[in-house]
Chain A
Amino acid sequence: MSTLAGIDQVFSALADATRRDIVRRAIDGTEGVAELAEHYPMSFAAVQKHVAVLERAGVITKERTGRRKVVRTNLDGLLIARRLLDTYEDLWRGRYGRMTDLITDRKETHA
C-alpha cells in the first residue's frame, strides 16, 4: 500500500540475512551489541552498523536495563508508530494538495 511509505525502509532493513537474524535474537531483549556481535563472523563495527540500520528503520530499539544497554526488537512500538505517522503524513499531504487547488481555483475564477 503506497500510504505506508516508511515500510520500504523496514523492508530494506530486513533484506539482509544478518539483520534478520539480529531481529530474531533481539526479540527477548537480553543482549547488547557486543554480545550480539559474538554470534557473527564479522567485526564488532560491522555488527554495530547493521544494528544502526535496524534502529533507523524503527525495527529495533536500544534499551537501558541497569548498567547495560540491550537491543530489543520493536515491531509493536516504534515501528507501528512510525508507520502510522507515515499514514498521517499522507492524510495531510492530501489536505495540502486540496487547499492549494482551492486557492488556485478561486484565483482563476476571480481573474
Chain B
Amino acid sequence: MTLTAVRKDPATQTMTTTAEFDATPDRVWQLWADPRQLERWWGPPTYPATVTSHDLRPGGRVDYYMTGPTGDQPKGYWDVVEAEPPRSIVFRDGFANDDGTPNTDLPGTESRIRIEEIGDGRTRMSIESRFPSVEAMEQLLAMGMEDGLSQAVSQIDAILAEDGDPTR
C-alpha cells in the first residue's frame, strides 16, 4: 500500500486520503463488504471493532461496537447512503447509545469512498471525510485525544508566556 495523497482543509473540516493497493478492486471492496474483514481494520489495536449487523446497501445500516483496554464498549453505526460494488460507498457514521439507537448528542461524519482500477492489478481508493463543523470535529476527535490536545495547548501557552511582560 502506498498512501499517495492526504489533503486536509480545516476551513471545510474535510480530509481526503488516496491510497494505492497491490490488489484488484474486488479485493479492496471486500475490506468493506465482509464484516469479518472490516472489523480487522476499522478499530485501532487498542479498540478492536466487532460488527454486529452489516447491510452495505443504499438505505442499509452497519452496527458495531469497539472494546477498549478497560472493557468499555462504545457503540457505533453507519447509515449507508450509496453502495455500488466494487466502486463506491457513501455513509454517515456516528456513535450509538447502549440500545443501538443513534446518539444525537454526538455529531457524525460523512465519508465518500471511491475505488478504481489503475492497471497492473493495482487499485486506487480515495476516502473523503467531512465533519459538520470545527466544534463537531473537536468533540469527536478530542475524546481520545484530550491529554494530547491540552498538553499541546499548555505548551503553546508556556511558549507565549516565556518572554514575559516587559512592564513587570
Whether A45 sits at the interface, judged by CB under 8 Å, is no
Contact A84 B141, beta carbon cutoff 8 Å: yes
Asked if B13 is at the interface (CB within 8 A of a chain A CB), the reply is: yes
Q: Mark A13-46, 1 if CB is under 8 A from B, else 0.
A: 0100100110110000000000000000000000
State which of A7, A78, A96, A107 has its C-beta within 8 Å of the C-beta of B152: A7
CA distance A29 to B15 in the complex (A): 28
CA distance A11 to B162 in the complex (A): 13
Q: How far is the CA of A10 from the CA of B162 in the complex (A)?
A: 16
Question: Is B31 touching A99 in the complex (CB atoms < 8 A)?
Answer: yes
> Do A85 and B159 contact each other (CB < 8 Å), given the known contacts A92-B127, A99-B21, A103-B27?
no
* Chain A interface main SS type: helix
Interface string of B121-134 (1 = CB under 8 A from A): 00000010100001
**CB proximity of A87 to chain B, nearest CB, Å:** 5
Q: What is the distance, in angstroms, from A42's C-beta to the closest C-beta of chain B?
A: 17
Residues of A within 8 A of B (CB): 1, 3-4, 7, 10-11, 14, 17, 20-21, 23-24, 58, 75, 77-78, 80-89, 91-103, 107
- The reply to whether the CB of B22 lies closer than 8 angstroms to some CB of chain A is yes
Q: A11-B155, A17-B163 are in contact. Are A81 and B37 (CB under 8 A)?
A: no
A-side contacts of B22, CB under 8 Å: 103
Q: Which residues of A contact B11 (CB under 8 A)?
A: 78, 81
Instruction: Indicate if B106 sits at the interface (CB-CB under 8 A).
Output: no
Contact present for A14 and B44 (CB under 8 Å):
no
Bound together, the chains give a CA A101 to CA B45 distance in angstroms of: 13
Please determine whether B153 and A75 come into contact, CB atoms closer than 8 angstroms.
yes
| A85→B137 contact, CB < 8 A | yes
Sampled A-B contacts (23; CB under 8 Å): A1-B151, A3-B148, A24-B160, A77-B134, A78-B10, A81-B10, A81-B11, A81-B137, A84-B142, A85-B10, A85-B13, A87-B141, A89-B6, A89-B17, A96-B17, A96-B19, A97-B1, A99-B28, A101-B41, A103-B1, A103-B22, A103-B28, A103-B31
Known: A75-B153, A85-B15. A20 touches B159 (CB 8 A): yes
> Closest 7 CB pairs between A and B?
A100-B1, A1-B148, A98-B41, A81-B10, A85-B8, A84-B141, A81-B134
